Every structure is written in structure tokens, then in C-alpha cells.
């Protein structure tokens, strides 16, 4: 990475991105200089200074690729290359991506733009790019072998087509696809409408991110590319909580969020405190008659969803995948449940053999966030994230929508924790407690059971106790 | 006449004295034997070997043994204890003494025979006196003394070899006992881990988190571990008792025997082949034993050539003849030579046997010389391999296992693996330590064998492959 970094010089565009050095300028005289991003932070929207105007999007923990206009054609330069992506503070992954990051930069164009994209392959194997969801000439669709020869290492290919349809798209390789997507190669594409479209509303905030998943063995850096379902890192734009930036908006902003799914399973994406409408898919804007309010939308594999809502409730609202395993970081999926298993007398015995052993899971998994214990190097803890009231006990696909009255228009800075108005936070009840009367079920089962268990089931509940014993 | 007789009697007496002196050269004492062993095998005995014959000596030995038993017994101390305490070593010394005394006997001349004859024939009374001795016996005395010296030498070398053997066995028994005791400690840890696992599984089933089969699986391992612990327990007892026997401890001493916690550290460097080779050539007990055997036979071969053919008996005779009728008396004197006639046995068989034995001894010597290098190389290879394997375990296998354990602990902390995997891994680690102890044990056994081989008592070592950590299969769940 370092030697390649030396190859490019700082360009100062898009918040710390760097452009190709003069050495390569000779070699690639006809190409736009590739711009490289070194930071995993969410970059401010790239307001267009050439071409047709549009309202730019904000890529969560990402950036938009600058372009150059060349005789009316919008020219981008993507460089496919190995990258080191910080997936969360203190946890880095060796991935493949574009222009310094995984996922690659967002490409933003306007309906009707003629777009020319140079793709340079700096990977050790061939690649190609498929422009997911676009209307384009068949030879530009990017399926290696079917539509074009694969781009060999060191080669540059050029794609050129007109962005015919406004909407939300993505790009990813279509050569050794399994490997290259498991390694993090993907990016977002947004085509803004040229003129006012009755199905596309004006919004004040427009966020986008891709859902992706990795299987990185705790203590290692490179994803296991053969994994099919048992991923251990569920990420948005190759970031995991608490590494995912919050979505900061001004009260009463109309907000659009565009989500694409390049994992191998579906993700029910859920927003607290507001209802949203699904206003678009990879097929384009949805007809108004098909829209209904909901708080969770399932983004199936290979799909895109565009949701819109009015951010009219102040506060810090959780925004996450509703598959609870997807709001966890690296963890074992084959651990026995220890809830309710009394460890008295056992811990000492085990400590004789394993001095650092501590009982975990006897009360549930929250122990994990309460005990500061060393874990393998380069591993994000399974549940983490300190909120204003303690640990959020989350990981993976989790972020926060921050709605603030005093957020400036166009300002995406994190406003900090929400200051709740007096009396609006749940609190401990301090009055008298009376023993609840147990409700006796009136009805029976729909059908009686043929065999009755030999012993009646009895649930033993252990009273909450102090943690001092652990 | 009388005077002459007297003088000839005196001459005989002088000869007898001379013979006694001559044969004295071939006599051997217990002290000689013991100090010989102590000199030859000083690296083994540290010159502390002694046979006690008096109550005082026995008490001194008992006191020395008692002093050695107050501390945990190192390998060196175990050898010292065996030297002062073991009745079988004492028996060995006594036997060696007997053997060399027998050998010394060969170098002595047979006692002369005095015969007295009284014969009456009518009036005649004849009294004959004769002092006879084997002439060849006398003539071959120097040769026989030579043979005797070789035989004594041989018996002493054999004694030394046997002492080396015994000491080697003490060393090896000590190594086995210490290793078994060390292994037992770790087997107990495996057992405890299995016990904890089984107990968690039981409580998990009680809490409703585990099915009967899952619990049974964990408990099955516990049952196995109990068997293995029992075996390890017996092994520790058996090897300790083996050592008790080698040390010759009595009922009162045996309970006092304390062993160190662990085997000694491996030497920083293994003995290099040059050093081992330089010991080998000369002075090896086995070669010298074969050499003296051959020389003794060779020496006696010349002798047999003579003695098998003839046995000449020289007799000095003085008779007294009295005739009571005439009152006459005469004293005839003279000598008699008796020769065994080689009519039936020309001694061919004896000579054949003798030359065959000499030939055998010569070839035996050659075979011993040829085998010496080879057996030493084998011993050295056993030693060197055991050293390298033990070091590999110490420097590679155990640290790697430790890394795995440390990482597993971190993984457990991160809830990437569960408690059963952690415990299974702990068992694996303990088994690796047991395997490492096994390799150390093999090294010290091979070391003792090499020491014996170097001095010329070829001892082979069988190296067994270190057992892979068992319980690896159990790590899956
Ligand atoms: Cu999900």
C-alpha cells in the first residue's frame, strides 16, 4: 500500500483524497488522474462544479468520486486494487476495493449524461465491472466472457454509455465474482433526475450505503472468501458498529436513504421513531399507489431499496438490521447456552487449569459488554458501543439517526448525544410493588396432546444478583 | 647319609616356600577387586563402592543411606544410594571376589604329596617315604600364573561391567519413576478438566440447556479420563517400586524415598559425536574383556600342548629296609619319575578343544571390536535423536500449544468459542506437556544407555514416538 501511496499525490479533493503522481501521468496521459481516498470517514457531499447540477448524496463512511468533463462526456477513473479498510476503530481488514477504499467511491451522474469510466486493474487477477441495474449497450454490461474479455492485471478498460434512467444502482465485478465480492469489491451509483420527476421528491438529506458481509477469522485480516452463509461481520459500506457514522439530520428534513444488498442473505432494515415509504428499487421509482408506510423494509439479496421519511421526531433513533445476529460482531455461532447454569464450585476448579477463565453466559450474553477482557488481536468485540446511558451492546449493521432542531442545513456534523427534555426518559419506578395476580388461561389448546410428558415442565428463575461473584 | 637327606628335604622345603611366594603373586583380595571397579568405572561409582563385611562397615553404609534419604533423591544420589545400600550390588561384589579368587587358584602349584609305605615280608620290614610333586606343575607355573592373571583381570572386568549395568539400571529406573510421577500430576489435571466439563454438562442438563446425549458425550470423556488417571497412578507406583528394588531399600527405608518434582533440564548442548567417539576406541570394557579372554586362552594353549601329552610326576624317595632276622638295615634313596603314557589319549582332543577355544576367543575379540563402533553409533543415535526430539518438544511443540491455548482463551473471552472448547483445549495442552515429559524421559534413558555404551557396556535404547495429544477429537464440541 505504502509504495502505491507514494505513487499518488494529494489532490485535496473530496476531503483528503489523493490524485495520481506525475510519473503515472505520462503513462496514462489520456486518462483522468485516479483519485484515491485514504480516510474511511463519511465525506461531505460533492457539490457538482461541472456538468448538469444535482443535489448530491452522502455516502455513509464513503465518498463520491470526482470526475472531469471531456467534450461533454463525464469521465471517471476507477482503480481496482488491494486496500486496507478500517472496518471499526482498531480493526482493519485486508480487502480489495477501488481507489483506496472498499467499497469504492460513489459515482453520481445525471439522467442523460454520457459517462465514460476508465477501469484500471491493479489486482493480481483479472476483473470486470458490471453496472447493476443500468440500461446500457450489451457490450458495456461487464460480464467477463459474455459481454467482454476480462480486464487483465495492469490493463485499463473503458466503459461508455448514457445514464438513461434516474435511480439507485450499484457496481461490482462480474469476473471471479464470488472472490472479488467477498473481498469487498463494490460501489454505489446514483443517477439523479434531469428534470422534476413526479415520482422523485426533493429531499434535504440523501444518504446511501451498501450492505456487505465478511468472514474474517478473529486475529486475522483477510476475509475467508469461501464462506457462504456463516459470516461473522455484517457491515454497511465495509464498516461495522461502532465504526458506522450516524445519520445526522435537521428536524423536519425530508430524508432519503438508499440501500443496496450485496450480501448472501436478506436484511430487514429497521428505523426507530419514524415511518418511511419505499420510494424506489433498482427498477426505479415505485408507483405512488404501491407505497405504504412501514418501519422495516426487507432488502433482499442483490436488491436496492430507497426509503423516504420526514425526520420530525427529535432524538437519537436506532437504525439497524432487524436480524439480531447481524447486530453483533465476530462471535461463535456454536456456543452452548449457559443461562441458568450454576457455576458455584466449578470456576475454581477450572481456574486451576485455566487461570484466566471467567464465567460468561450464566446470566445471558450481556456479560460480554461488562467484562473488559482481552480478545484476539484485530478483532472487534461482539457487542459494544458506549451510549449516553451505558453500553448499546450492538455490533455489525447498526447506526443512529440523529434528528436535531439546531442542525444547520447541509451540515452533516455529528451533534453529539441528544439532550432529552425533562421527564422524557424512562426511569426506575420507586413506588410500592404488589405481587401480580397470575392470569389463568381460559381457553385450552386447539387439540389435546396425545402423549403427555412424564414430568411437568418447571421453569426456575434465578433472582437478579450482584456481579461481584464473577 | 642323613645329612644329605636332610639337605634334600630342606631343598624341597625351600622350593615349597618359593612356590608359595610365586603363587602369592597371583592371589587377589576383595579390596583389590573393589578398588579396581572404582577406578575403572569412577564416572559411575565415584569411587564409593565398598563391600562391607563387619558390623561396623554395615552400620556406616546404613548411615550413609539414611543421610541420602533425607533429601529428594537426584539421579546422582540415587546411584550413590544404590552403591551403599543395594544388597544385590554387595552380592555382586562378593561374587566377583569369589570369581577372582577362583581365578587366582589356577596360578598356584598343587601341594606336594607325601606318601608313607610300610611293608612286611617275613622278617623284612620295609618303610618307604616319598615326597612327590608334578614336575610339569612346577615347570609350567610361570605360564599358569600368567593365565591366572588374565583370568583375574577378566573377572574384575566382568565385575566392573556388571556394576555399570546395575548403575545404568538404577539411573533408568530413577528416570522412569520421576517421569511417571510428573506424568501423574498432569494426568490428574486432565482428569480435573474432564470432571469440570462433566459437571458443567450435568448442570446444563439440569437447567434444560443440554440434551441427554450432549451431556453423555461430555461425561464419556470424563469416564475415560478416570481410567487414564488410574493407569497413570499405577504407573507411578510401579516405577517407584522398581526404583525401590534397584536401590535395595528395605521396608523402613522405602517410605522415606522422596523424588524430585521433575526430570532435570535438558543439557544446553548434546554431547557431540566426536566426544562420544573419542571415548569409544580404547579402554572399552567389552573389548578388554574379549582381549583378556583371548589372551588367557592363547596362553593356556602352549601349556596344553605339554600337559596334554605327558604328566610327569617327580618323586623323591627314601626307603628304610630292616631285616629282623639278620638285623641288617639299609636306607636306599633315589627318585622316581612317573610318566603318563600317551597310549589311549595323545591329547589331541584337548589340544583341539583348546585351539578351538582360542580361535573362538580371537574371533570373539574381533567381533567385539567390530561391534563396538556400531553399537556405540547406535547408542549415540538414540541419544541424539532423543535429545533433538525432547528439545523440539520443549522449544516448538509446547510453546505452540501454549500459543494455541492463549489464543483460545482470547477467543473464549470474545465469545467466539465456548467453555467446552476451552476445556477441551486445556486437556490438549496438558496432553502435550505429558508428551513432552515422555520425550524428556526418553532422553534421560538414552543418556544413561549412552554412558554405559561409552564405557563399553553396549545398551540399546528403544525410542518410541511421542503420543499425539489425545482428546483432540473431543475438541469438536
Ligand atoms: Cu441483516
The rounded Å distance from CA A211 to ligand 1 centre is 8
Q: Cβ A382–B420 below 8 Å, yes or no?
A: no
CA distance A248 to A207: 10
- The answer to whether A331 contacts B414, with C-beta atoms less than 8 Å apart, is yes
A425: Cβ contacts below 8 Å, ≥ 6 apart: none
* Res B465: pLDDT: 54
pLDDT at residue A12, as a whole number: 37
| Structure confidence at residue B246 as a pLDDT band (50, 70, 90) | very high
For cell 600342548, name the residue: B305
Res A368: pLDDT: 66
How far is the C-alpha of A132 from the C-alpha of A185, rounded, in Å? 13
Distance CA A380, CA A361 (A): 19
Which residues of chain B have a CB within 8 Å of the CB of A350? 193, 196, 419, 423
pLDDT of B4 over the 50 cut: no
SS3 of chain B: CHHHHHHHHHHHHHHHHHHHHHHHHCCCCHHHHHHHHHHHCHHHHCCCCCCCCCHHHHHHHHHHHHHHCCCCCCHHHHHHHHHHHCHHHHHHHHHHHHHHHHHHHHCCCCCCEEEEEEEEECCEEEEEEEEEEEHHHHHCHHHHHHHHHHHHHHHHHHHHHHHHHHHHHHHHHHHHHHHHHHHHHHHHHHHHHHHHHHHHHHHHHHHCCCCHHHHHHHHHHHHHHHHHHHHHHHHHHHHHHHHHHHHCCCCCCHHHCCCCCCCCCCCCCCCCHHHHHHHHCCCCHHHHHHHHHHHHHHHHHHHHHHHCCCCEEEEEEEEEEEECCCCEEECCEEEEEEECCCCCCCCHHHHHHHHHHHHHHHHHHHHHHHHHHHHHHHHHHHHHHHHHHHHHHHHHHHHHHHHHHHHHHHHHHCCCCCHHHHHHHHHHHHHHHHHHHHHHHHHHHHHHHHHHHHHCCCCCCCCCCCCCCCCCHHHHC
Average pLDDT over residues A104-121: 97
pLDDT at A81: 97
- Give residue A352's Cα distance to chain centre: 43
Comparing B55 with A448, the larger pLDDT belongs to B55
When pLDDT is averaged across residues B326-336 and rounded to a whole number, the result is 82
What's the gap in Å between A330 CA and the centre of ligand 1? 14
What is the arithmetic mean of pLDDT over B330-352? 77
Cβ neighbours of A339 in B, within 8 Å: 207, 209
Cell of A287: 408507483
Quote the ligand 1 centre to A270 CA distance (angstroms): 10
* Mean per-residue pLDDT, B355-370: 87
Q: Are A105 and A146 in contact (CB under 8 A)?
A: no
State the distance from the centre of ligand 1 to the C-alpha of A283, rounded, in angstroms.
22
Split at pLDDT 50, 70, 90, the class of A425 is very high
Q: What pLDDT is stored for residue A210 in this prediction?
A: 98
pLDDT at A202: 94
Residue of B nearest to A343 (CA): B200
A382 in B contact zone (CB under 8 Å): yes
Interval A341-356: pLDDT, tens? 888 888 888 888 888 8
From A379's Cα to the closest Cα of chain B, the distance in A is 9
Q: Counting every residue, how long is chain A?
A: 470
CB contact under 8 A, B200 and A360: no
What's the pLDDT score for residue B468? 44
| Nearest-angstrom CA–CA distance, B303 and B358 | 13
CB A19 within 8 A of CB A161: no
Say what the pLDDT of residue B171 is.
94
Higher pLDDT, B343 or A296: A296
More confident residue, B194 or A466: B194
B14 has pLDDT over 80: no
Task: Report percent pLDDT > 90 for chain A.
Answer: 70
A372 or A31: which carries more pLDDT confidence? A31
Higher confidence at residue B96 or residue B185?
Answer: B185
pLDDT at A11: 37
Q: Which of B282, B280, B264 is nearest to B450 (CA)?
A: B280
pLDDT at B1 over 70: no
Chain B residue with CA closest to A340: the answer is B207
- The count of CB pairs under 8 A between chains A and B is 106
Give the Cα separation of B90 and B113 in Å (integer): 38
Q: What per-residue confidence (pLDDT) applies to B227?
A: 92
Instruction: Flag whether pLDDT at A430 surpasses 80.
Output: yes
Report pLDDT for A8. 37
Q: How confident is the model at residue B5, as a pLDDT?
A: 42
Q: Which residues of B touch A (CB under 8 A)?
A: 189, 192-193, 195-196, 199-200, 203-204, 207-210, 214, 407, 409-420, 422-423, 426, 430
**Per-residue model confidence as pLDDT tens digits over B452-468:** 888 888 876 676 654 44
Contact between B416 and A376 using a beta-carbon 8 Å cutoff: yes
- Mean pLDDT to the nearest integer, B316-331: 83
Cβ distance A338 to B209 less than 8 Å, yes or no, reads yes
pLDDT at A32 (0 to 100): 87
A229 touches chain B (CB under 8 A): no
Could you tell me the distance, in angstroms and rounded to a whole number, from the CA of residue A371 to the centre of ligand 1?
26
Cα-based angle A198, A211, A177 (whole degrees, multiple of 5): 105
In which band, very low, low, confident or very high, does the pLDDT at B475 lie, cut at 50, 70 and 90? Answer: very low
* Lowest-confidence pick of A291-300, B168-177, B403-412, B467-476: B467-476
* Confidence at residue B19, expressed as pLDDT on a 0 to 100 scale: 53
> Is pLDDT of A96 > 90?
yes
Please give the Cα distance from A435 to B21 (Å, whole number).
118
Chain A: closest CA distance from residue B472 (Å): 17
Measured CA distances, B161 to A23, B54, B84, B165 (Å): 83, 26, 18, 6
Res B391 pLDDT > 80: yes
Q: Which of A93-102, A454-463, B14-23, B145-154 has the highest mean pLDDT?
A: A93-102
Q: Note whether A376 contacts B207, CB cutoff 8 Å.
A: no
Residue A362: the pLDDT is 78
Complex ipTM value: 0.83
User: Cα–Cα distance between B167 and B164 in angstroms, integer?
Assistant: 5
Residue A340 near residue A362, CB atoms below 8 Å: yes
At residue A161, φ and ψ (nearest 5 deg) are -165, 170
User: Taking a contact as any Cβ pair under 8 Å apart, which residues of chain A between 193 and 212 contact chain B?
Assistant: none
Predicted local distance difference test score (pLDDT) of residue A443 = 59
**Rounded Cα gap, residues B87 and B83, in angstroms:** 9
Which residues partner with A116 through β-bridges? A75, A160
Contact flag A332-B410 (C-beta cutoff 8 Å)? no
Does B139 score more than 80 pLDDT? no
pTM, two decimal places: 0.79
- Mean pLDDT value of segment B105-124: 82
- Residue A461, CA distances (Å) to B125, B238, B382 in order: 131, 52, 63
- Which residues make beta-bridge pairs with A403? A249, A315
Residue A26, pLDDT score: 42
The string of pLDDT tens digits covering residues A59-78 is: 999 999 999 999 999 999 99
Q: How confident is the model at residue B310, as a pLDDT?
A: 62
Residue of A nearest to B404 (CA): A376
The answer to whether A357 contacts B415, with C-beta atoms less than 8 Å apart, is no
What is the C-alpha end-to-end distance of chain B, expressed in Å?
Answer: 115
Does the pLDDT value for residue B242 go beyond 50? Answer: yes
Instruction: Give residue A323 CA to ligand 1 midpoint distance, Å.
Output: 5
pLDDT at residue B376, as a whole number = 86
Q: Quick check: A341 and B200 CB within 8 A? A: yes
CA distances from B47 to A280, B35, B117, B282 (A): 100, 7, 57, 21
Q: Inter-chain contact A353–B189, Cβ cutoff 8 Å?
A: yes
Q: What is the pLDDT of residue B308?
A: 58
Q: Measured between CA atoms, how close is A179 to chain B, in angstroms? A: 25
Contact A381 B411 (CB under 8 A): no
What is the per-residue pLDDT for B244? 96
Cβ <8 Å between A340 and B209: yes
Residue A195 has pLDDT above 90, yes or no: yes
- Contacts with B420 from chain A: Cβ below 8 Å: 336
Secondary structure element (H or E) that encloses residue A392, with its range: strand A390-394
Mean pLDDT of chain A: 88
A330: nearest CB among B209, B214, B414:
B414
pLDDT digits (tens, 9 = 90+) for B200-225: 999 999 989 999 999 998 898 899 88
> Residue B35: its pLDDT value, please?
82
Q: Provide the pLDDT for residue A129.
A: 98
Print burial letters for A230-252: b (CB count within 10 Å at least 16), e (below 16).
ebbbbbbbbbbbbbbbbbbbbee
Cβ-count burial B383-407 (b if 16+ within 10 Å, e if not): bbbbbebbbebbeebbeebeeebeb
**Cα A267 to middle of ligand 1, angstroms:** 4
- Residue B470 is predicted with a pLDDT of 43
Confidence of residue A9 (pLDDT cuts 50, 70, 90): very low
A346 vs chain B: nearest CA distance in angstroms?
6
* Residue B48, preceding peptide bond in cis (omega within 30° of 0): no
Provide mean pLDDT across the span B301-314.
67
Average pLDDT over residues A200-224: 96
**Which has more confidence, B102 or A11?**
B102
| B37 has pLDDT over 90 | no
Task: Please tell me the predicted confidence (pLDDT) of residue B289.
Answer: 86
Ranked by mean pLDDT, the top range of A167-171, B81-85, B150-154, B224-228 is: A167-171
Q: Would you call A334 an interface residue with chain B, using a CB distance cutoff of 8 Å?
A: yes
**Taking all residues of chain B, what is their mean pLDDT, rounded to a whole number?**
83
Read off the pLDDT band of A19 (50, 70, 90). low
Closest among B39, B81, B125, B129 to B326, alpha carbons compared: B125
Q: What percent of chain B has pLDDT over 70?
A: 87
Asked if A172 and A129 touch (Cβ cutoff 8 Å), the reply is yes
Q: Is A245 helix (H, G, I), strand (E, B) or coil?
A: coil
Closest-approach residue (CA) in chain B for A336? B418
Say which of B203, B418, B430 has its CB closest to residue A335: B418
Condensed to tens digits (0 to 9), the pLDDT of residues A241-271 reads 999 999 999 999 999 999 999 999 999 999 9
Inspect the interface and report whether the beta carbons of A339 and B209 lie closer than 8 Å: yes
Compute the average pLDDT of residues A281-303: 96
Alpha carbon of A334: minimum distance to chain B alpha carbons (Å): 7
- Give the Cα separation of B93 and B154 in Å (integer): 14
Amino acid at each position: 500500500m505504502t509504495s502505491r501511496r507514494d505513487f499518488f499525490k494529494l489532490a485535496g479533493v473530496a476531503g483528503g483524497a489523493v490524485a495520481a503522481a506525475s510519473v503515472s501521468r505520462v503513462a496514462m496521459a489520456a486518462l483522468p488522474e485516479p483519485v484515491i481516498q485514504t480516510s474511511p470517514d463519511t465525506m461531505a457531499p460533492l457539490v457538482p462544479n461541472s456538468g448538469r447540477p444535482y443535489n448530491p448524496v452522502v455516502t455513509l463512511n464513503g465518498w463520491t468520486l470526482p470526475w472531469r468533463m471531456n467534450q461533454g462526456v463525464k469521465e471517471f477513473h476507477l482503480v481496482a486494487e488491494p486496500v486496507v479498510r478500517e472496518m471499526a476503530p482498531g480493526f482493519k481488514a485486508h480487502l480489495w476495493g477501488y481507489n483506496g477504499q472498499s467499497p469504492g467511491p460513489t459515482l453520481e451522474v445525471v439522467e442523460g449524461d454520457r459517462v465514460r469510466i476508465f477501469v484500471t486493474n491493479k489486482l493480481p487477477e483479472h476483473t470486470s465491472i458490471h453496472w447493476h441495474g443500468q440500461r446500457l449497450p450489451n457490450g458495456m454490461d461487464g460480464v467477463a466472457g459474455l459481454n467482454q474479455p476480462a480486464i487483465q492485471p495492469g490493463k485499463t478498460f473503458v466503459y461508455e454509455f448514457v445514464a438513461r434512467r434516474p435511480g439507485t444502482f450499484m457496481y461490482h465485478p462480474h469476473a471471479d465474482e464470488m472472490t472479488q465480492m467477498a473481498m469487498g469489491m463494490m460501489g454505489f451509483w446514483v443517477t439523479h433526475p434531469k428534470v422534476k420527476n413526479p415520482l422523485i421528491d426533493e429531499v434535504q438529506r440523501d444518504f446511501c450505503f451498501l450492505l456487505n458481509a465478511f468472514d474474517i477469522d478473529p486475529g486475522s485480516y483477510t476475509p475467508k472468501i469461501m464462506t457462504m452463509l456463516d459470516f461473522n461481520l455484517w457491515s454497511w459500506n465495509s464498516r461495522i458498529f461502532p465504526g458506522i457514522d450516524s445519520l445526522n439530520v435537521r428536524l423536519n428534513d425530508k430524508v432519503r436513504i438508499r440501500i443496496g444488498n450485496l450480501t448472501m442473505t436478506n436484511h430487514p432494515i429497521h428505523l426507530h421513531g419514524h415511518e418511511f415509504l419505499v420510494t424506489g428499487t433498482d427498477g426505479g421509482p415505485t408507483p405512488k399507489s404501491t407505497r405504504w408506510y412501514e418501519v422495516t423494509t426487507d432488502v433482499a439479496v442483490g436488491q436496492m431499496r430507497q426509503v423516504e421519511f420526514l425526520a420530525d421526531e427529535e432524538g437519537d433513533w436506532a437504525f439497524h438490521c432487524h436480524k439480531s445476529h447481524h447486530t453483533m460482531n465476530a462471535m461463535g455461532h456454536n456456543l452452548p447456552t449457559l443461562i441458568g447454569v450454576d457455576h458455584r464450585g466449578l470456576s475454581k476448579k477450572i481456574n486451576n487449569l485455566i487461570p484466566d477463565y471467567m464465567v460468561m453466559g450464566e446470566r445471558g450474553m450481556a456479560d460480554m459488554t461488562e467484562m473488559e477482557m482481552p480478545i484476539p488481536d484485530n478483532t472487534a468485540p461482539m457487542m459494544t458501543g458506549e451510549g449516553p446511558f451505558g453500553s448499546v451492546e450492538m455490533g455489525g449493521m447498526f447506526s443512529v439517526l440523529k434528528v436535531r432542531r439546531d442542525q444547520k442545513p447541509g451540515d452533516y456534523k455529528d451533534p453529539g448525544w441528544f439532550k432529552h427534555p425533562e421527564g422524557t426518559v424512562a426511569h426506575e419506578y420507586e413506588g410500592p410493588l404488589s405481587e401480580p395476580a397470575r392470569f389463568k388461561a381460559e381457553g385450552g389448546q386447539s387439540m389435546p396432546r396425545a402423549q403427555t410428558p412424564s414430568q411437568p415442565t418447571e421453569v426456575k428463575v434465578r433472582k437478579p444478583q450482584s456481579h461481584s461473584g464473577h | 647319609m642323613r645329612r644329605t637327606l636332610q639337605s634334600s628335604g630342606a631343598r624341597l622345603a625351600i622350593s615349597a616356600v618359593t612356590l608359595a611366594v610365586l603363587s602369592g603373586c597371583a592371589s587377589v583380595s576383595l579390596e583389590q577387586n573393589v578398588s579396581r571397579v572404582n577406578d575403572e568405572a569412577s564416572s559411575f561409582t565415584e569411587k564409593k563402592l565398598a563391600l562391607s563385611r563387619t558390623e561396623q562397615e554395615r552400620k556406616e553404609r546404613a548411615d550413609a543411606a539414611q543421610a541420602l534419604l533425607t533429601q529428594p533423591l537426584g539421579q546422582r544420589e540415587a546411584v550413590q544410594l544404590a552403591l551403599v545400600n543395594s544388597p544385590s550390588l554387595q552380592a555382586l561384589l562378593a561374587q566377583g571376589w569369589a570369581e577372582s579368587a577362583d581365578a587366582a587358584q589356577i596360578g598356584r602349584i598343587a601341594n606336594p604329596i607325601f606318601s608313607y609305605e610300610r611293608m612286611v615280608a617275613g622278617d623284612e620290614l620295609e618303610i618307604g617315604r616319598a615326597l612327590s610333586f608334578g614336575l610339569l606343575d612346577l615347570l609350567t607355573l610361570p605360564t599358569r600364573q600368567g593365565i591366572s592373571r588374565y583370568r583375574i583381570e577378566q573377572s574384575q572386568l566382568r565385575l566392573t561391567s556388571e556394576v555399570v549395568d546395575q548403575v545404568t539400571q538404577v539411573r533408568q529406573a530413577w528416570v522412569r519413576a520421576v517421569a511417571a510421577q510428573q506424568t501423574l500430576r498432569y494426568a490428574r489435571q486432565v482428569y480435573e478438566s474432564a470432571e469440570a466439563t462433566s459437571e458443567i454438562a450435568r448442570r446444563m442438563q439440569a437447567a434444560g440447556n443440554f440434551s441427554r446425549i450432549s451431556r453423555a458425550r461430555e461425561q464419556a470423556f470424563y469416564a475415560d479420563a478416570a481410567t487414564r488417571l488410574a493407569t497413570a497412578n499405577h504407573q507411578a507406583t510401579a516405577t517407584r517400586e522398581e526404583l525401590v528394588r534397584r536401590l535395595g531399600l528395605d521396608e523402613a527405608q522405602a517410605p522415606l524415598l522422596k523424588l524430585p518434582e521433575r526430570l532435570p533440564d535438558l543439557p544446553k548442548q548434546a554431547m557431540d559425536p566426536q566426544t562420544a567417539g573419542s571415548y569409544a576406541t580404547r579402554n572399552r570394557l567389552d573389548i578388554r574383556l574379549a582381549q583378556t579372554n583371548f589372551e588367557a586362552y592363547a596362553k593356556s594353549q602352549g601349556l596344553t600342548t605339554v600337559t596334554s601329552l605327558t604328566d610327569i610326576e617327580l618323586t623323591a624317595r627314601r626307603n628304610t629296609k630292616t631285616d629282623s632276622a639278620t638285623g641288617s638295615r639299609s636306607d636306599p634313596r633315589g627318585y622316581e619319575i612317573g610318566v603318563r603314557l600317551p597310549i589311549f589319549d595323545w591329547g589331541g582332543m584337548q589340544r583341539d578343544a583348546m585351539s578351538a577355544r582360542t580361535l573362538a576367543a580371537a574371533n570373539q575379540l574381533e567381533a567385539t571390536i567390530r561391534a563396538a563402533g556400531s553399537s556405540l553409533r547406535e547408542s549415540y543415535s538414540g541419544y541424539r535423536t532423543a535429545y533433538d526430539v525432547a528439545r523440539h518438544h520443549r522449544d516448538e511443540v509446547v510453546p505452540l500449544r501454549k500459543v494455541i491455548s492463549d489464543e483460545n482463551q482470547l477467543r473464549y473471552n470474545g465469545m467466539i468459542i465456548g467453555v467446552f472448547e476451552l476445556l477441551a483445549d486445556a486437556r490438549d495442552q496438558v496432553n502435550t506437556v505429558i508428551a513432552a515429559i515422555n520425550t524428556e524421559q526418553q532422553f534421560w534413558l538414552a543418556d544413561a544407555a549412552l554412558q554405559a555404551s561409552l564405557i563399553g557396556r553396549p545398551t540399546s535404547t528403544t525410542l518410541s514416538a511421542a503420543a499425539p495429544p489425545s482428546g483432540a477429537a473431543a475438541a469438536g464440541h
